[in-house]
Structure 1
Amino acid sequence: MIPQKPSGTFRLSARAGDRAPFRGLMACAVMVWAVLSAVSSPAASLCPDVVRIGYLPDWPPYQYVDSEGQPQGLDVEAARRAVSAAGCPLELVAIGWPRVMSLLEKGVVDMVAGISETPERDQIAAFSAPYRREQVGLYVRPGDSRVYPLTGLADIETLRFRLGVTAGAYYGDDFLRLMARPAFRSHVVEVQGADNPGLVVIGRVDGYLLDVISAQAVMQEADPPLVLEQHPGVLIDNGSIHFAYSRIRMSPELVARIDALLPQDGAEEGDKARPSN
């Protein structure tokens, strides 16, 4: 899931209260880093001249650019550590969400972190073992959880409710099944480009689907900050999150090597990172 980019650069707060939602994710990332760092590198012949890791500059705390213009984030560091542990030189390349799969397919970038695996994407790229999980929530204007008493997304069919989603993003198989129903699809507004929860604030949509971890960072760092609430009736388990690899320059042997370096229980560890409902 890709959030709206506030003006300026992201400066994630160091206040104790702001860190709380990210502690579980950081613990998971530390585990990944520790395992990767402990394994020796393979023969350099498996590596291309440089592994170009594509990252999104506007998706904190997973992938973003800090106040000094440097790429940072949990996904960025996990990818950097994985490639380094495999013995390969790397380069970080800023990319935009709409072109992620196209850039992988063409070999413009070799690897991208933070991707859900789907049958359609399997036709384009290779995928790693899971290294974390993702949950998606519905964000509405303060007080609107009572105005729209939803117990699931299907309920919007009977309400005057406009649901904002990011075009091309994956929200789980249940959401795909709902989108096949004309009565549901008529309530959905697909937004091109990055996630844009600001549309809720200005009344263009009544709710927006966002990753529950990145949503907090986006709202805190927007200028002015966004004030939204997470609807208690809608929480989507978006499943496992992976590295995606271009098949042009990332050989199956190198992909398998990186896979072998990942903790075998990475997805389960990611469950601990999810905030409670």
Structure 2
Amino acid sequence: MKKLLIVFLLVLSSQPIVANTVDDKTLSVGWELWYPYQYRDAQQKLIGLDLDIFNEIIKRINYKVNYTEIPWKRHLNYIKTGDMNIAMGASFNEERAKYALFSEPYRIETVKLFVRKGFAGKIKLKHLKDLSNSNFMIGVEGGYYYGKDYEKLIKQAAFRSHITEVLDLEQNIDLLMKGHLDGVLVDPFTMQAFINKYKMFNEFEQHKLHIYADDIHIMISKKSKFKNLMPKINGAILSLKKDGTLDQFFKSWNSLVSSNSQSIAQQ
């Protein structure tokens, strides 16, 4: 009996945590801990810049949302299979375009190389490709997009041997502080929010190496019954830009992240 129960539980655990939606007006949307875009506050309320923007979009198109916390790589897989409808905070690439539709951009994401304070000048990298012939190790988060140059380079064994992939920024920073990494690739806005949260002021600086900057979108599964919502979502995004609501969200979150914090040293 115990063996049967174990098998049953294993089968259940292998199933998608979300099976599309509960009705014709509720969207299944994943989120992952990603300061200050998607996270829970001290009262366990789900907040963040992406969530403020997306909730306003949903309000304007008169839909509802069922949020599920899920690792990004699994989230992308569920978008691919149609087991989840939507992903926020998504960069466009050709692989994702095979299984998802992309909205109008609603913000820009920048990725930089961050190192321990005092080390930027010691890491002699002019171009990302220079990492292949160096002694440096760089940390990234699994499933995230780091630009076209990175996508090409990661296919090369020589470059890949200098990359450590982990689940989240917390793990990367832990490895960096212990000396197992020389730097991490991360959005500066996210890095500042992380510094504020853990009070790690004056611990890091930004390397001058260019990584990438690109538009960020909402992504809808091509297998979702809600894929025809994209024109409405695009219309809502454009209205947010036109009436100034989007700018207000940016100002509010910039103020929140920057207040009572020290600047990241920039090389």
Normalised TM-score (structure 1): 0.72
SS at structure 1 position matched to 2:24: coil
Identity %: 30
Aligned to 2:134: 159
Residues 158-189 of structure 1: per-residue CA shift (max 9 Å, x gap): 32111111222111101122223333222222
CA distance 1:264–1:89, change in 2 (3 Å): closer
Give the paired residue count: 225
Which consecutive residues of structure 1, in runs of 5 or more, have no partner in the other structure?
A: 1-46
Q: Which residue of the other structure, out of 60, 75, 80, is the alignment partner of 1:100? A: 75
Secondary structure class of the residue paired with 2:238: coil
Q: Which has the higher contact order (CA 8 A, sep 6+)?
A: 1
Whether 2:184 is the aligned partner of 1:208: answer yes
Check if 1:198 corresponds to 2:170: no
Moved more, 149-158 or 122-131: 149-158
Residues 66-121 of structure 1: CA distance to partner in whole angstroms, max 9, x if unpaired? 11111100101111111111111222222222211122234443212101111111
In the TM superposition, what whole-angstrom CA distance separates every residue of 1:181-215 from its partner, at most 9, and x where no partner exists? 33322222222x22322211111111110011101
User: Partner amino acid for 1:194?
Assistant: D
- Give distance in 2, aligned partners of 1:181 and 1:66: 40
Q: Which of residues 112, 131, 136 is equivalent to 1:137?
A: 112
* Residue aligning to 2:8: none
Q: 1:221 aligns with which of 193, 197, 200?
A: 197
Specify which of 133, 148, 168 is matched with residue 173 of structure 1: 148
After superposition, the CA RMSD in angstroms is 2.8
Q: 1:236 to 1:264 in 2, by over 3 A?
A: farther
Provide the secondary structure at the position in 1 that maps to 2:230. helix
Query: Kindly tell me: are residues 215 and 135 of structure 1, through their superposed partners in 2, closer, same or farther at Cα, counting changes over 3 Å?
Result: same
Which residue of 2 is the match for residue 116 of structure 1? 91
| 2:224 is the counterpart of 1:249 | yes
Distance (Å, rounded) in 1 between the aligned partners of 2:47 and 2:240: 24
Instruction: Note if 1:238 corresponds to 2:213.
Output: yes
1:49 correspondence with 2:25: yes
Task: Measure how far apart 1:217 and its partner are.
Answer: 0.8
Offset of residue 223 of structure 1:
7.1
Cα displacement (A) at 1:226: 8.5
The structure with more radius of gyration = 2
Question: Which of the numbers 31, 37, 47 marks the counterpart of 1:62?
Answer: 37
Task: Work out whether residues 104 and 217 of structure 2, in 8 Å CA contact, stay in contact via their aligned partners in 1.
Answer: yes
Alignment CA distance shift 1:238-1:194 (3 Å): same
- Give SS of 2:152's match: helix
